Amino acid sequence: MEIRQLRAFVAIAETGTFTAGAARVHVTQAAISMQIKQLEVELRAQLFVRAPRRVILTEAGEKLLERAYVILREHDAAREELAALTGAELGRLRIGSASAMVSADPLPQILKELREKYPGVETSVVSGTSALLVQQVLAGEIDAAFVSLPVEARGVQTELLSEDSLVAIASPRHQLAKQKVVSAYALAGEKLILGERGGNTRRLIDQFFAQAGVKLKVAMELSRLAAIKRMVEADMGVGIVPLQSVLEEVGKGTLVRWWIEGAQINWQLGIARLVGGYESPIHQKFLMLCRKHFGQSTKNPSSRQKQKTKKK
C-alpha cells in the first residue's frame, strides 16, 4: 500500500468520480484506475461500486477511507516536522471555506502570498456549509476552515477573524430603493431571499424577527451568498446579507443597501481547527496571514477570541 495510492483513493471518494479524482491528484484517468486496481488486489476487497453518474464506496471502502485519513495526516505531519528541522518550506495545507459566506473573498490573496513565499507548499480548498466543514476538521480531512461563529462541536477551537453587520439589500428598481433604513415590519411584506436554515447567519435573522414579533415571507432559501445577490439584482425579492459582501455591488449601483431599524445583528467570521492538533510551520504561517488580512494583530493574542467549543 503506497501513499500515492491512498491519495488517489481519497480523491475519488471525495469527488465521486475517477475523472475528478484523477484531476485532483494530477494523473490520467487510466493511471488512477490502475492505482485503485492495485490497491484492491493487495487488500483483496472491492473499494467502489460504479453508479450511473458517480462511484459509491463499498463497506470496505468506507473502512479504508477512515484509516486513509489518519495515515495521510500522520504522513504529512511527519514530513512537515522533518522539513521544519532541515529548514525546508514544504507541506500540505487543506482549507475549507463556507460557501454561503464572504470568507472566500480574501482567501485567494492569502494563498497567493503563501505560495510566493513558500512555493513548495501544496494547497487545496473545499467549500461547504459551516457545519459540514467543522465535521471535516474533526475527521482530519481539512486542516482549518473559515466558518460562521459560534461553533458548537467538541474538539474544535475557533478564532474570531472579523465581525460585520447584517443589512437588507434590494434592486435599485425597488419602490423603496431611495430609503436608507427599513423596519422589520416593512421587510415582513417583502419576498425575502435568505440563506438556508441551520446556519448561524440564518439563525441570527430568524431570532431578530421573532423577537420583533414579525413573521417573515421567505420566497427562496439559497446556500450561496452570490446566488442571493444575483436573485435580488434580478428583482426576485429582498435579501439580508453581511454588509461587507455587498460593498462592490452597492458602489456600482446594481444593489441598494438598507439598514434594518432597531437591528443589532452582528455576523462573525472565524477560523476553526482541531484542539490539540499538530500545527506545522506552514499552518502557523497561514494563520498569521489570515490575521493580517482580516486586520487582527499577530503580536497581541489578547485581541483575538479563542475558544474551545463543546456540545451543549
pLDDT at residue 301 greater than cutoff 50: no
Rounded to two decimals, what is the model's pTM?
0.63
**For residue 196, what is the DSSP state?**
P
Dist. CA 20–CA 18, nearest whole Å: 6
43-100 residue pLDDT tens? 999 999 988 889 999 999 999 999 999 998 888 878 777 776 555 566 788 899 886 5
Q: How confident is the model at residue 101 (pLDDT cuts 50, 70, 90)?
A: low
The per-residue pLDDT for 86 is 58
The per-residue pLDDT for 108 is 85
The HSE-up count of residue 259 (CA atoms within 13 Å, CB side) is 6
176-235 residue pLDDT tens? 999 999 999 999 999 999 988 877 788 889 989 999 999 989 999 998 888 999 999 999
* Domain covering 163-266, topology: D-Maltodextrin-Binding Protein; domain 2 (3.40.190)
- The answer to whether 194 and 227 are in contact (CB under 8 A) is no
- Which residue would you say has higher pLDDT here, 145 or 115? 145
Q: How confident is the model at residue 24 (pLDDT cuts 50, 70, 90)?
A: confident
Query: How far is residue 217 CA from its own chain's centroid?
Result: 28
All structural domains of the chain with their residue ranges: 1-88, 163-266
The per-residue pLDDT for 38 is 94
Grid coordinates of 29: 484517468
pLDDT at residue 243 greater than cutoff 50: yes
Dist. CA 129–CA 3, nearest whole Å: 29
Nearest Cα neighbor of 143 from 299, 274, 312 is 274
The per-residue pLDDT for 276 is 81
Note whether 1-88 and 163-266 share their fold.
no
CATH number of 1-88: 1.10.10.10
pLDDT at residue 308 greater than cutoff 90: no
